[in-house]
Amino acid sequence: TKSHSENQEPVITTDGDEPSNQELRRSERIRRLPYHLTEYETYSCSHYPISNFVSYDKIYTQHINFIKSLDKISEPQTFQEAKKDSNWRKAMEEELEALNRNKTWEIVTKPKNSNVVGCKWHYRVKYK
C-alpha cells in the first residue's frame, strides 16, 4: 500500500503475506489481420474456363507458337524418365562436367560403418 503526505516523500510498504487479488489485465485491442492478407483468396479450380475470357484472335502468330511450345516441354520426375530424353541427358552431362571442373568432390573408398550421403536430381526448365 502507498502512504502519501503533503510534507513527506511517498512511502511504499508491502506485506509479503497478502496475496494479490488483482486479475491479470487483458488487452482490449481489436486484433486484425495484416493488410496484405485482408483480401487474400485462393481457389483450387475455376468455375469458368479461361477460354471464355481470353482469346488468341489478337495475338501474333509467333507468340501463339511460343505459348504452345511451353505446353510441350515436360519436366521429368525421375532419373529414369530424364535419361530417355537427349536434351535432359545433355543437361545432366553439362552439370556433372561443371561439378568436376570445380572439384566439387573426389571419389574415395567408403570407410567401414559409415553412412553415405545421398543425392537427387531435380529437373526444372528455366525460362529466360
For 24-65, what is each residue's pLDDT tens digit? 888 888 888 888 777 767 666 677 777 777 777 888 888 888
Q: Is the pLDDT of residue 3 over 60?
A: no
Q: Residue 49 pairs with which residues in a beta bridge?
A: none
* Dihedrals phi, psi of 2, to nearest 5 degrees: -110, 140
pLDDT of residue 95: 93
pLDDT of residue 6: 57
Q: Residue 87 and residue 73: Cα distance in Å, rounded? A: 11
Q: pLDDT averaged over the chain?
A: 80
Cβ–Cβ < 8 Å for 70, 126? no
- Return all residues near 2 (Cβ < 8 A) that are at least 6 apart: 10, 11, 12
Q: Which of 16-25, 77-86, 90-99 has the lowest mean pLDDT?
A: 16-25
**For residue 87, which amino acid is it?**
N
